[in-house]
Amino acid sequence: MCGIAGWVEFGRDLSRHKDTLQRMTDTMRRRGPDDSGIWAGADAALGHRRLAVIDIEGGRQPMIAERGPDGEPVVLVYSGEVYNFAELRAVLCSRGHRFQSRSDTEVVLRSYLEWGERCVERFNGMFAFAVWDADRRTLLLARDQLGVKPLYYAPLPGGVVFASEPKGLIAHPRFTPRVGEEALPLLLNARLAMPGETPLRGMHEVRPGHVLRFDQEGANNGRERQYWALASREHTDDLERTIGTVRELIEDIVARQVVADVPVSCLLSGGLDSTTVSALAARELPGRLRTFCVDFAGDERDFRPTALRPERDAPYARVAAEHLGTDHSDVVLTAAEVTAAVPAARQARDLPSLGQFDSSMYLLFEAIRRSSTVAISAEAADEVFGGYPWYHDPATVWRDGFPWLGDAPRLAGCLAPDVWERVRPDLAEADRYATLRARVPRLPGEAGLDARMREVLFFSLLGPLAYLLDRKDRMSMAVGLEVRVPFCDHRLVEYAWNVPWSMKTAGGHPKSLLRMAAADLVPRATLDRPKSGYPGLHDPAHEAAVLAAVSRLLRDRTSPLHGVLDADRVGQLVESGGRTMTWLNAAHLLLPLVEVDAWLREYGLTFG
């Protein structure tokens, strides 16, 4: 796992601008604390920060090969892991390739030499990489199928700059961050972002499952190609065979993802997803697997159940750890610690943070990093198998909109009337819903609930999941921890996608299919436990502090949000209490206002 950055500008000798590349690369220091390197040539410059996980000595980057009659360099910078690198290496050796290292990085480089940009179609993993092919004067940017690893870019006249995080682009003198009022719907609810979309003008993400090619002919825009997408087809396996296939896939995925030359641990909340992954990891790793769970001081007193968080994690995590025989730790955080870490979490994200939800994860990963370099997480099981409560509420499912938003209040409803009329966040949300609904890969003849749930799961995979994966990447890489996500393996996603909803819920519970596949792995308490989302603070003092910060913001004429918000509408949300299927309380709902204000100030941004 690493951080990458680069700059291509055709017709300019970038070997004279190594200082700029170095500044861009240095912003990735936390992503790659173990090593760094840069390469610069006539039209391109690439930089790399390394977190050493596989082949500690042999995987240094940028990694270079030569091709063409003049031995022109082919230069790779790469972030992530390709889990099937051993099989690919054997194929490449049979085709005459000779390797100098044991690293998956060299497999990626030589795969490009052998198959060109179609190499990505052979990769099983999480990755984002750039290849500068000097022989063809072409830059290739690529991202994994589900978008686990980030890759941002900004076209410039005659070329492009790219980096693992926005801060890498912002460090380039020719990219100036700008934000307009049209970005307000995304700033106030980042889950609405379409694939590739960011709130900063001129900055984009490489879309999941896509490659971008920049050459002199298309230097300013790039040529985009989708190499992977979900495809709907009839599911012919019966229930028994479906359960068996899911189990076989998860076993294979976890076995691949525990491979590392550094210590590996697991996130264990005591829920079905994390306990299943931890159980399989414990089978693969010798000795006692280390597991971790986040908890909050005072939760025994302050916790209040909601539909999404009906129970505390920590007691279930301890039961699961005892059942699995893991070396378990509860990372207990105080409200003061969580609040103090918010600026660091915001800096890691480069965008408005989720406040306590980002900072508590940041502190959890910081604690894990003291003993592990890799952690396994069960993110995405709910999107793949249908675990969230809104999937199982008919009124929410059949509502003509994003089910994960339901009929909850929209923070964009707090915009001042004149801003509302210019931005029309209601139309922005409706347009995104209609756009994604039109992209659903439908199964001919499918109707009723099975057809609607195909839509609902598609919305989740392309919206909220992308945001959660981005959050997990940022908070973990900010402390030099690699987090792997087995449920994002595209083979599992492809298979589960075509399992009918009636079969996914065949046992009468959310995620019945996964429950049946893991029945012999987890304790009874875990098997019967309802879905509980990532935990949040219930400390009344924290809630009061957030609401006080919102009140100060509304009175502050120096705020970049001054004139953007309607104080009366904000007050109505405060009085409502904010408790819905998604929100813990009014403070949870209104927190983005505080975070957007802080982000705009820190980056010197105003709407224009």
Rounded Cα–Cα distance for residues 470 and 133 (Å): 29
**pLDDT score at 208:** 98
Tell me phi and psi for residue 418, to 5 degrees.
-70, -35
pLDDT digits (tens, 9 = 90+) for 432-476: 999 999 999 999 999 999 999 999 999 999 889 999 999 999 999
Q: Reply yes or no on whether the pLDDT at 575 is more than 90.
A: no
Whole-number pLDDT of residue 197? 95
Is pLDDT above 80 for 582?
Answer: no
Backbone angles phi, psi at 234, to 5 degrees: -65, 135
Report whether pLDDT(218) > 70: no
Report residue 413's pLDDT band, with 50, 70 and 90 as the boundaries. Answer: very high
CA 27, 28, 30, 35 dihedral sign is negative
What single string gives the DSSP state of each residue in 522-543? S-HHHHHPPP-PSP----HHHH
Active site residue 488: no
Count other C-beta atoms under 10 Å from residue 249's C-beta. 19
With vertex at residue 486, the alpha carbon angle to CA 384 and CA 270, rounded to the nearest 5 degrees, is 80
Helices (H), 285-355: 299-302, 314-324, 335-340, 342-349
The token pair that represents 395 in the structure block: 């009124």
C-alpha separations of 136 from 5, 41, 66, 70, 206 in Å: 20, 14, 12, 12, 21
Catalytic, out of 2, 119, 266, 488: 2
So what's the pLDDT on residue 456? 96
Higher-confidence residue: 222 or 551?
A: 551
Distance between CA atoms of residues 187 and 593, nearest Å: 9
Report how far residue 276's alpha carbon sits from residue 518's, in angstroms, rounded to the nearest whole number.
6
Structural contact between residues 461 and 355, judged by C-beta atoms closer than 8 angstroms: no
Among 47-61, 102-116, 119-133, 327-341, the least confident range: 47-61
* Residue 189, both tokens: 């609810």
CA gap 393, 400 in Å, rounded: 14
Instruction: List the single range of 4-13, 209-218, 288-297, 319-328 with lowest mean pLDDT.
Output: 209-218
pLDDT of residue 547: 93
Q: Which residues of 190-218 are buried (b: 16+ CB within 10 A; e: fewer)?
A: bbbbebbbbbbeebbbbbbbbbbbbbeee
Using CA atoms, how far apart are residues 105 and 63, in angstroms rounded to an integer?
8
